[in-house]
């Protein structure tokens, strides 16, 4: 399972998702989600209402309607409609002009490793995870985690070095998974259980004790981002945290509303929780707070794929966006000096990723090249595209 929104979004149909942005050099492609277990007439009516509610900012109604269908959701082959250059790993080929402002360029180049950790901790070896697979660079190693708590709390620690051969760590990254099943949705998201927040604070204190004097960074997607913001702002853990990187975050922090210079927010354009990170929601939903990232550390308009409000929330979409923009910032639009050891790292991470949509793109390119060379279609030999096998 993946982020909290991915958990229920399997039920969504006619979601108008995964449209490639023109900057990717491809045409838009609309597509639908399918679920084979919920009766079609009920499924389509309820889900269409949920999608309309999302697009009109009625977050609570849309979440309730979508969550009702959770027990009838089936696995979805997202890759059927993921088409275009974005899903492969070549550098972005953008026309002249300004494509990303300084906030997004700076956030991407500083935060791509934390975005990767936040996405990686959510992926599993099920078909959906294997179709959208990230591999870690050699200098970041997953360390300890905790068995999943009945509240839904899950977490993983990563040890990071400046170079894989270094004898000492440069920092430790704690990545919170957020919610990934119905119990999480019921007790933590819809109701007001704070058990995951308590466990997050306890875990951070344990990590700080294990790695004394080492820089500690927290990160997470969706509710995982809320947990990262929570431990950064709460009195008993705030002094341990050097930075917090929140991706498509829930604002349910159970913390103060103050601006915090350590917090960064990375989000997709139009993803569903944009509608919740508002002053209005702060007044009506207990636990929701202003996240407090400074405006110049809020990069919430990554746009390389046009999608529905639900699909835009997926962990692989925000992570790939950040990696592409970091690569662009390092090589094509430099803001300042880049550590020579890091110049190519975003590109290397992308090249080591394994996305099934890219395999289809590569095979299609072979067909086009064969036809352009005058080879009859039936005689074109397609070499299957291979990528690194998933290993957790």
Q: What is the CATH number of the domain that holds 188?
A: 3.40.50
The two three-digit tokens of residue 355, written as one number? 């996305």
Q: Which residues touch 388 (CB under 8 Å, ≥6 apart)?
A: 133, 135, 352, 354
Could you give the CA distance from residue 371 to residue 23 in angstroms, rounded to a whole number? 26
With beta carbons less than 8 A apart as the criterion, state whether 265 and 300 touch.
Answer: yes
Residue at 36 is within a domain:
no
Mean pLDDT is highest, among 83-97, 191-205, 232-246, 277-291, for: 232-246
Residue at 47 is within a domain:
no
Model confidence over 304-322: pLDDT tens digits?
A: 887 777 778 888 999 999 9
Residue at 391 is within a domain:
no
pLDDT band at 191 (very low <50, low <70, confident <90, very high): low
Q: What is the mean pLDDT of residues 110-132?
A: 88
Provide the pLDDT for residue 219: 98
Could you give the CA distance from residue 305 to residue 67 in angstroms, rounded to a whole number? 25
DSSP 69: T
Least confident of 32-41, 186-195, 315-324: 32-41
Could you give the CA distance from residue 111 to residue 244 in angstroms, rounded to a whole number? 10
pLDDT band at 189 (very low <50, low <70, confident <90, very high): low
Residue at 52 is within a domain:
no
For 135-171, give the DSSP string.
Answer: ---TTEEEEEE-PPPTT---EEEEEE-SSTT-SS-SE
Residue 100 burial (C-beta neighbours within 10 Å; 0-12, 13-18, 19+): buried
Q: Which residue has the higher pLDDT, 33 or 267?
A: 267
The two three-digit tokens of residue 122, written as one number? 């959510």
Q: Is the model's pLDDT at 172 over the cut of 50?
A: yes
Q: Which residue has the higher pLDDT, 236 or 33?
A: 236
- Nearest residue to 241 via CA among 252, 254, 227, 251: 227
Residue at 201 is within a domain:
yes
Q: What angle do CA 182, 187, 191 make, to 5 degrees?
A: 125
Q: What is the mean pLDDT of the chain?
A: 76
Model confidence over 38-61: pLDDT tens digits?
A: 444 444 444 455 555 555 555 555
Residue at 45 is within a domain:
no
Residue at 39 is within a domain:
no
Residue 374 burial (C-beta neighbours within 10 Å; 0-12, 13-18, 19+): exposed
Rounded to two decimals, the pTM is 0.80
Could you give the CA distance from residue 356 to residue 337 in angstroms, rounded to a whole number? 35
Provide the pLDDT for residue 356: 81
Provide the pLDDT for residue 4: 42
Could you give the CA distance from residue 72 to residue 70 in angstroms, rounded to a whole number? 5
- Domain count within the chain: 1
Residue at 278 is within a domain:
yes
CA dihedral 320, 326, 330, 332 (to 10 degrees): 70
Q: Which residue has the higher pLDDT, 12 or 160?
A: 160
Could you tell me whether strands 132-133 and 140-145 are parallel, antiparallel, or unpaired per DSSP bridges?
unpaired
Least confident of 84-98, 138-152, 155-169, 262-276: 84-98
- Range of the structural domain that residue 280 is part of: 95-356
């Amino acid at each position: 399972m993946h982020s909290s929104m991915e958990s229920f979004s399997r039920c969504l149909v006619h979601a108008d998702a995964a449209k490639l942005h023109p900057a990717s050099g491809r045409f838009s492609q609309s597509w639908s989600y399918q679920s084979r277990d919920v009766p079609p007439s009920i499924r389509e009516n309820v889900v269409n209402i949920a999608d309309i509610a999302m697009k009109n900012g009625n977050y609570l109604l849309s979440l309730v309607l979508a969550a009702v269908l959770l027990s009838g959701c089936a696995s979805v082959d997202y890759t059927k409609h993921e088409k275009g250059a974005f899903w492969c790993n070549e550098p972005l080929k953008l026309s002249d002009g300004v494509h990303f402002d300084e906030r997004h360029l700076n956030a991407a180049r500083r935060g791509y490793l934390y975005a990767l950790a936040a996405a990686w901790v959510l992926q599993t070896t099920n078909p959906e995870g294997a179709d959208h697979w990230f591999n870690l660079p050699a200098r970041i190693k997953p360390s300890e985690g905790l068995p999943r708590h009945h509240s839904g709390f899950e977490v993983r620690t990563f040890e990071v070095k400046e170079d894989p051969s270094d004898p000492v760590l440069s920092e430790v990254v704690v990545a919170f998974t957020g919610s990934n099943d119905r119990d999480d949705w019921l007790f933590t998201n819809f109701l007001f259980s704070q058990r995951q927040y308590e466990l997050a604070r306890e875990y951070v204190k344990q990590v700080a004790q294990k790695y004394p004097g080492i820089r500690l960074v927290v990160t997470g997607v969706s509710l995982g981002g809320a947990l990262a913001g929570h431990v950064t702002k709460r009195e008993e853990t705030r002094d341990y945290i050097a930075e917090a990187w929140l991706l498509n975050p829930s604002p349910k922090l159970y913390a103060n509303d103050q601006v915090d210079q350590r917090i960064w927010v990375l989000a997709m354009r139009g993803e569903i929780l944009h509608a919740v990170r508002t002053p209005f929601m702060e007044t009506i939903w207990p636990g929701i707070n202003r996240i407090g990232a400074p405006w110049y550390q809020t990069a919430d308009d990554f746009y390389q794929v046009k999608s529905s409000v639900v699909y835009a929330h997926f962990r692989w979409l925000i992570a790939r966006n950040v990696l592409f923009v970091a690569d662009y910032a390092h090589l094509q639009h430099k803001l300042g000096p880049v550590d020579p050891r890091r110049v190519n790292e975003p590109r290397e991470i992308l090249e080591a990723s394994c996305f099934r949509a890219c395999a289809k793109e590569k095979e299609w390119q072979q067909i086009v090249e064969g036809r352009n060379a005058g080879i009859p279609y039936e005689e074109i030999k397609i070499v299957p595209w291979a990528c690194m096998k998933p290993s957790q």
